[in-house]
Amino acid sequence: MVVPGELDVPIVAAPMAGGPSTPALVAALDRAGGLGFLGSGYLTAEAMREQIDANRAAGARRFGVNLFVPDPADPDLDAAAEYRMLLGPLAARLGIDELPAARDDSFSYLDKLADLAARPVPVVSFTFGLPAVEHVRTLREAGSRVWVTVSSPDDAVAAAEVGADVVVAQGTEAGGHVSTFTVAEPAPGIPLLDLLADVRRRVDVPLVAAGGLTTGPAIADALGLADATQLGTAFLDADEAGTSAVHRAALKDPRFTETRVTRAFTGRPARGLTNAFIEEYDDVAPASYPSLHVLTGPVRAASAARGNGEGAALWAGVRWREAPSGSAERIVAGLAAEARKADGR
Ligand SMILES: Cc1cc2nc3c(=O)[nH]c(=O)nc-3n(C[C@H](O)[C@H](O)[C@H](O)COP(=O)(O)O)c2cc1C
């Protein structure tokens, strides 16, 4: 059972699927008195369970697992097929014979839920949608706390109504994907402090703030309205993170000067460092998830393998330049101390 008030330090390492979240990072957050998450959104149920076991072997007692709620509307596969044609020349330049066909994928959502109900973990968090009431009930009865990530006040109300123990309010500053409840809707673009104030007024559950929190003063401001903070970008260059070399290098490369919210890589809005891929494909990328994630996989992998950040998804929040480096325990201690200082304590 974990709600923000039970943490020694109000800092959560965000789930970061696709590599950055590791059992070592999660265990370090537990030692530091915060909370870490496994980013299990893209994993099979078996791979998720292996990570959970590795997590426990690494010594983590308090931790969370994050899942992606599938959108019941079918992804627009025709639009994705057209996008596949547009990617053809780039794929050829990268030596990719053929891009995969656009397809749907729920990433074993129901299998993972069944596994988590049978072998519970302290926290299960959801993004990209509202979990069904019966799934929330089953997880809670099994002893887990349920967290739901939202990017708008209406979605926060809906999350409270299905029985979420905690609402994670994700401001537009956030790195990575925006948690909209459908693929088609645009990212609401609400700044974190505005979102927190609105959500506070409308729901009465513990709140976790996310988006652009890479410094102590920013964390202190968020804690004025929230019970804890969830940081992604601040842990991307942590020693224990599984962030790719190309991603770590890009975060420190002066060539990258801004972040942008784009559907170009996956078909869902997500914030990353603006690179050549985003410049070229942002305007033409359709709202079709996860088909575009599947389609661009080989492009992202080939680009990363060449050490070239121009075709990789370099997810980062707006305050990426201030993100710290070093061990996760030191990052947590440093940010917590800075936040207390900023708060005048
Ligand atoms: C590389 C990366 C991967 C992410 N993957 C996930 C994920 O799998 N699940 C999720 O709920 N949020 C994910 N997020 C979003 C975070 O939960 C959080 O909202 C965001 O990192 C907060 O903004 P910040 O990066 O400025 O701290 C990711 C963020 C980043 C930077």
pLDDT tens for the chain, 345 residues long, are 477 888 999 999 999 999 999 999 999 999 999 999 999 999 999 999 999 999 999 888 999 999 999 999 989 999 999 999 999 999 999 999 999 998 889 999 999 999 999 999 999 999 999 999 999 999 999 999 999 999 999 999 999 999 999 999 999 999 999 999 999 999 999 999 999 999 999 999 999 999 999 999 999 999 999 999 999 999 999 999 999 999 999 999 999 999 999 999 999 999 999 999 999 999 999 999 999 999 999 999 999 999 999 999 999 999 999 999 999 999 999 999 999 999 886
**pLDDT score, position 60:** 86
Q: Whose CA is nearest to atom 29 of ligand 1?
A: 176
CATH numbers and ranges of domains, the chain:
4-70+106-243+322-343 (3.20.20.70), 74-105+257-313 (no CATH)
**pLDDT score, position 345:** 63
Dump pLDDT digits (tens) for 278-323.
Answer: 999 999 999 999 999 999 999 999 999 999 999 999 999 999 999 9
Name the amino acid, one letter, at 194. Answer: D
Name the amino acid, one letter, at 195. Answer: L
- What is the distance in A from the centroid of ligand 1 to the CA of 41? 12
DSSP 12-26: EEPP-TTTT--HHHH
- What is the distance in A from the centroid of ligand 1 to the CA of 115? 24
Q: Whose CA is nearest to atom 12 of ligand 1?
A: 15
Residues with C-beta less than 6 Å from any ligand 1 atom: 14-17, 20, 39, 41, 66, 127, 149, 170, 173-177, 210-213, 230-234, 315-317
Name the amino acid, one letter, at 126. Answer: F
Q: Whose CA is nearest to atom 14 of ligand 1?
A: 176
271 contact partners, CB below 8 Å, separation of at least 6: 174, 175, 176, 178, 259, 260, 261, 262, 315, 316, 317, 318
- From 40, 177, 248, 261, mutation site for ligand 1 pocket: most ligand atoms within 8 A of C-beta: 177
d(Cα 339, Cα 304) in Å, to the nearest integer? 35
262 contact partners, CB below 8 Å, separation of at least 6: 269, 270, 271, 272, 278, 281, 282, 285
**74 exposed, middle or buried (CB, 10 Å; 0-12, 13-18, 19+)?**
exposed
Dump pLDDT digits (tens) for 164-210.
Answer: 999 999 999 999 999 999 999 999 999 999 999 999 999 999 999 99
- What is the distance in A from the centroid of ligand 1 to the CA of 236? 10
Main-chain phi, psi angles of 167, to 5 degrees: -110, 130
Maximum Cα interatomic distance, the chain, rounded to a whole number of Å? 59
Give the number of other Cβ atoms within 10 Å of residue 161's Cβ. 11
CA trace torsion 70, 74, 79, 81 (10° rounding): 80
**14 exposed, middle or buried (CB, 10 Å; 0-12, 13-18, 19+)?**
buried
| pTM (global) more than 0.75 | yes
What tokens were used for 242?
Answer: 């599984």
Contact of 251 with 316, CB cutoff 8 Å: yes
